[in-house]
Each structure stands twice: as structure tokens, then as C-alpha cells.
Amino acid sequence: MSPCWSDRLSAGIDRVGAPVCVGLDPVLESMHADLRARHHEPAAAVREFTRGVLHAVAEHAAAVKFQSACYERYGEHSWAAMHEGMIEAARLGMAVLWDAKRGDISTSAGHYAAAAQRLGAHCVTVSGYMGRSAVTPFLEAGLGAFVLVRTSNPDSDAVQGLRLSDGRTVAEMMADEVRSLGAARLGSCGLSDVGAVVGATKSGDAAALRARMPEQIFLVPGYGAQGGTAEDVRSMLRPDGRGVLITASRSIIYAKSAGAEPWTDAVKHAAERMRQEIAAVIAGS
């Protein structure tokens, strides 16, 4: 039997020594000029880029996060490149997260879950604002789910920061739902297959959310290019130093090469620096 998401991810974190996730957000205009020059078709560049990043970060990333929108943009061959990338990432020992932010219910969510399985994903990002039936089909398919709770975009405050009649914020209400939904889905590591997306730039809310979700893994976007720092991670940790997965995309995958250095070496060095920085913060927490 395949390990559940939380145990698979925990094993990956143990392997590299830090809860690091590298986001694959392929944008043609941002890729190294030499790579773009070799390919007339965007999908071909996306395929080479994906494989190059995966092999560059495999020693330092416990997980990789495929941004579905970026792959969908370039059509069917780019979608195929995402599928190939997921299979390769798993072969390299990394946990595979499909960042698709699905949010439909019942039958439709079941179809999305089947698509995730076919692609080779181990976990999916999900919006739970249509209720539990937007999340449970993924769990029933044996996948993990990261539910949007407190996202890093500034305009999220207008919705997620609103106070309900019982005094909770919308984000706190969603946190309670996530904990309840994940209570029956704990891995042997003691963490749930139902996690929460909590942005690094929202660290001021993190302690309250952690108190509401002690068994949840927090997927923490916003690190690096979006302004989140390693110190923002501290308030999100459990007392045992676990319970987070820190993700960075642009600051890693588009790291600038030094001189004649191959672009993949720059990516590898950026991932290594991130791993060392996150590991140091957790060790000092």
C-alpha cells in the first residue's frame, strides 16, 4: 500500500532535512535565454525547463508544487510535460503537489480527483468554500489536500479577515472545518492528510491558526519573491518543530546564473540556500 500524503511528505522532509517545497511555475518569458532559443514551441521549452528544475532541486526539496495554470496556458503538450514531470519528481523521491485550487463539489470534484491521480499527483490544493464535498472526493481517492485558509495575496483580507457573528474570522472558521475534516485522516507521523494553505506574509495570524489546527501541515506560500522570510515561519511551527511545508517558486526556479554557470546550477544553489535557511530557523525554534 502506498503511504498516505502526510507520511510520504514527512519521509521527504526527513530525507532532505528541511520542509522545503519548490514551485514549478513555468513562464516562457522568464526562462533562461539559451533555453528559449533552443525551442520554437513553448511546450518543448516547458518540458526541458521542468526536467531541469526537478533534477536541480531533488537533493534539497522534499516536495515540488506544479502550478497547473502555467502548464495549461501552453496547451496539451505542456499538460503532457506536467504529467511527465510529476512522474519524474516521484521517481526522484519528491512528494508531488498539484496546485490546481479545485473547488467544485460532489461528482465534479470526483472527476478532478481522478485527473489528479492520472497525472501522478499525491496531493492537491483545494478551495473549501463550497463545503466539505469540495474536499472529501480527493481524500477518498487516497490523495492529500491543502485547503485554502489564509492566503498570501493582500486582497484576501477583504474576505478571510471578516468577522462572523460568533466572533471568528472567516479564516478561523475555515481552520476549524479543516481540523474537523482531517481528524480521522492522521498518518503514522501524527499529522493529517488534510492541510491548510497559510501564507508566509500572514504570519501575524499564524499562531491563532496553529492553535486551531494542531495536526495540520501548513503549506506556506509567499516565501522569497513575495516577501515572506524564514522568520515568518516560526509562529507557524508546532512545538515539535514540524507541521509546515515552505514553498518558493520564482526565487528558486529563475535564480540568476553567475557568469557562464548553467542555469540549472543556479537553481540548485538557490534551493540549497533555502534548505539551509529553513533548517536553521527550525533548529533554532
- Residues marked as catalytic: 101
Helix (H, G, I), strand (E, B) or coil at 123: strand
Cross-strand bridge partners of residue 20: 246
Could you say which DSSP state residue 141 is in?
T
Could you say which DSSP state residue 81 is in?
H
Distance between CA atoms of residues 221 and 253, nearest Å: 15
DSSP for 181-216 reads HHTT-B-TTS-BSEEEEE-GGGGGGHHHHHHH-TTP
Triad 129, 163, 146: Cα angle to 5°: 35
For 188-203, give one letter per residue: b (16+ CB within 10 A) or e.
ebebbbbbbbbbbbbb
For 2-36, give one letter per residue: b (16+ CB within 10 A) or e.
eebbbbbbbebbeebebbbbbbbbbbbeebbeebb
Helix (H, G, I), strand (E, B) or coil at 144: strand
Rounded to 5 degrees, what are φ and ψ at 24? -100, 100
State the DSSP H helix or E strand holding residue 246, giving kind and residue range, or none if neither: strand 244-248
Amino acid, single-letter form, for residue 218: F
